[in-house]
Amino acid sequence: MENIDELEFLKGINKKPFKTPEGYFEGLEDDILNKLAPPKANLRVVKNTRFNLMSIAASVTLLVCSGYLYMKMESSNRENAMVKNETAIKNYLLDQIDEVDYENLYSLNFEEDDVELDKAIIEELDLDQMEPENLIDL
Amino acid sequence: MSHLEDHEILSIIKNITESERGFRLLIGKYKERLYYHIRRMVLSHDDADDILQNTFIKVFRGINGFEGNSQLFTWLYRIATNETLTFIEQKKRKKTETLDNPDLVLVGSLKADPFFEGGQAEIKLAKALLELPEKQKLVFQMRYYDELSYKEISEILGTSEGALKASYHHAVAKVEQFFKVND
């Protein structure tokens, strides 16, 4: 270190007139490190924020899953409804068929099946003489 | 007080698992020198305490940016000096509205300060220093009280050694003149 210039007019001056409260320097490290505590508090805030973000993400996932399941159930319900409708229509048609006049139907069929061929036509065709193959063509 | 070299303390601080211990060592080594450096500028113990604590907090937050281009000691002094000058400026701005000369009031309060053991001569020197421009006062205090070399002061204040020598001699002349006038 360089020699400090002597200042004659300041001879006798106490260069260390300032004092501190007793034990001030002993506790200083702790005081300063305690003041540095806020960043730790900030870390807690960050952790809380992370926790909150995770909660939000979990909620959104849950919501999406619920929506998907709901849509699936809806689709299944629609299919069931369609099956029910088809069954209902079938039943309705069957009911309608039941109400048809079977006697009329029967008699109609009977009349058609038992149409008597004109005798003249029979004679003309000479059905008795016809080969079975020709009968089919007829 | 820590007997470790600065580079040893720095390597402890930069080791994440031991940084708190390293920082305790750093505070232990420099707290008194920095405290008195600050205290001579602000005079009040409470103010010096606040500024010192803020200084170490800034040191702690900026220690990873310290590249070792200057001595650790001069880097600490620079932070402490800047903190103190900022504090003084803010305090002056607040008090000029109500007081004509807050510095004189502060010097006057030294007489009643239980943590000041100086006599008339020391109070007279404090008054003489108030007459100096801020930079001359700083150079005088670092040279006279802290007994720093011009090279160290140059690193702290970022001023050439030649300019510092000139400032110091101007300061000494003004203080001497003050003592003569107020003898």
Q: Which helix (H) or strand (E) holds A87?
A: helix A37-98
Cα separation of B98 and A119, whole Å?
A: 144
CB A17 to CB B118 under 8 A?
A: yes
CATH number of B1-117: 1.10.1740.10
CATH 1.10.10.10 domain extents, chain B: 119-183
Q: Phi/psi of residue B25, each to 5°?
A: -65, -40
The class that CATH gives domain B119-183 is: mainly alpha
* Minimum CA–CA partner of A29 in chain B: B24
pLDDT of chain A, 138 residues: tens digit per residue: 445 666 888 888 888 889 999 999 998 999 898 888 755 545 555 556 666 778 888 888 888 888 888 888 877 787 787 888 888 888 877 777 665 555 555 555 545 445 555 666 666 666 666 666 665 555
pLDDT in tens, B53-101: 999 999 999 988 888 888 899 999 999 999 999 998 888 887 665 555 6
pLDDT in tens, B118-169: 888 888 898 899 889 989 999 999 999 999 999 999 999 999 999 999 999 9
Q: What is this model's ipTM?
A: 0.80
Cα separation of B43 and B137, whole Å?
A: 13
Of B122, B149, B179, the CB nearest to A1: B149
Q: What is the pLDDT of residue A1?
A: 44
**Residue B174 confidence (pLDDT) above 70:** yes
* Minimum CA–CA partner of B121 in chain A: A13
Cα separation of A74 and A78, whole Å?
A: 6
Q: What is the pLDDT of residue B100?
A: 56
Residues of A with CB under 8 A from a CB of B: 1-2, 4-5, 7, 9-10, 12-21, 24-25, 28-29, 31-33, 35-36
CB-neighbour burial class of residue B56 (10 A; exposed 0-12, middle 13-18, buried 19+): buried
Domain ranges of chain A: 23-99, 101-138
Q: CB atoms < 10 A from the CB of A104, how many?
A: 9
CB B35 to CB A25 under 8 A?
A: yes
CATH 1.10.1740.10 domain extents, chain B: 1-117
Alpha-carbon gap: A45 to the closest alpha carbon of chain B (Å)? 19
CA-nearest of B2, B59, B64, B37 to B146 is B37
- Which residues in chain A are closer than 8 Å to B128, comparing Cβ atoms? none
CA-nearest of A17, A18, A20 to A28 is A20
SS3 A18: strand
Per DSSP, A8 falls in state: G
* Minimum CA–CA partner of A9 in chain B: B176
**Residue B102 confidence (pLDDT) above 70:** no
